[in-house]
Amino acid sequence: MTTEHSTPVRYQIPIDDQLIPISDLIGKNIRFKFSGDIHCIACGKKTSKSFNQGYCFPCMRSLAECDSCMISPEKCHFDEGTCRDEDWGKEHCFIDHYVYLANSSGLKVGITRETNVPHRWMDQGAAMALPIYKTSNRLISGLVETSFKNQVNDKTSWQRMLKGQPDSIDLAEKRDELFSHFKKDIAAIKKQYGDDAVTELSSEQALNFDYPVETYPEKVKSLNFDKTPEVTGKLIGIKAQYLILDCGVLNIRKFAGYLVEFSTE
C-alpha cells in the first residue's frame, strides 16, 4: 500500500492499474477473492509460489534487491566484485542512508534510504521515529546498526504492534544515550571509512504517526490467501502494511503479485 503522512496516515491499495483509497473504507465491509494466479512483480511471469514478498524463484535467486545483504546490509559484498547488479547497487546502496530509532512495538533501531523517509516508518507501523545518524552508503548504515544490536532491538513484533499504541518513549533521550555509549564504535567506523562516512544528527526532531484504526484486536489472527482464497469482513483499521478486519489481519505486502478481485459495500 502507498502511504501519505497525514493525520491519520492515508493509505491507497494498488489493484491492477488503480489506486484505491482504502482509508476511506474504514467501517465498511470489504471482500477479496484470490483467483489462484500469482505473477512475479519483477518479470511478470506466472509462478506457483511467491518468494520475498512478490518474486518468482529465479528472480529471488538472481536480483540484487533480493540478495541477503538487503536483510543484512553489513554483509555488503559489492567491493568483492560479487554484487548481483552493480548498476542497481550504485543507484540504491551508494546513496545516503539514515540510521533511526523508532517506537512501534517498543524501541528499535533500523536503517533506511534517505529517499524512503518517512514512508519506511509508516510501513513498519511506527508511532514515532527519529533519524540519529546519516551515513554515506548502505554498508556503513548496516555497520552502525549492527553495533547497536546488543542494546537495542532491530525487529518489530508485528503482533504487539497491531494490538495498540506502544508505551511512550523519549527517543531523543535514547539517542543521546546511544551517542555516548557507542562513541568508540562510531569512531572506529570513521577511522576505517573516513570522517564523512557517519554524521551524528543531534538536532533532528522526531516524527509522530497516527493510524486510521477504529478498534485494535485483542487477539491477532493472520489471514492468508493461500489458505483462505476469499476474505470478507469489516475493515476496522489500517496500520503498517496490514488491513485490520473484524475477522483477522491481512498483510497486503506479503501478497504482492496475487491476482485478486476486490469489492466493497
* pLDDT tens track for 45-59: 999 999 999 999 999
> Cα separation of 83 and 4, whole Å?
33
Give the CA distances from residue 90 to residues 49, 64, 86, 249, in Å, rounded to whole numbers and listed in that order: 30, 11, 6, 37
CA nearest neighbour of 236 among 221, 258, 256: 221
Check whether 108 has a pLDDT greater than 90. yes
**Residue 76 cell numbers, joined:** 555488503
Check whether 32 has a pLDDT greater than 90. yes
The whole-number average pLDDT for the span 250-257 is 95
Sheet holding 230-239, edge to edge: 248-251, 242-245, 230-239, 29-38, 258-264
Mean pLDDT of the chain: 94
Q: How many CA atoms lie within 13 A of 236 on its CB side?
A: 16
> Widest CA span of the chain, in angstroms?
61
CA nearest neighbour of 139 among 192, 86, 72: 72
> Cα separation of 13 and 4, whole Å?
12
> Cα separation of 142 and 167, whole Å?
27
Give the CA distances from residue 220 to residues 160, 242, 244, in Å, rounded to whole numbers and listed in that order: 9, 11, 9
pLDDT tens by residue, 163-202: 999 999 999 999 999 999 999 999 999 999 999 999 999 9
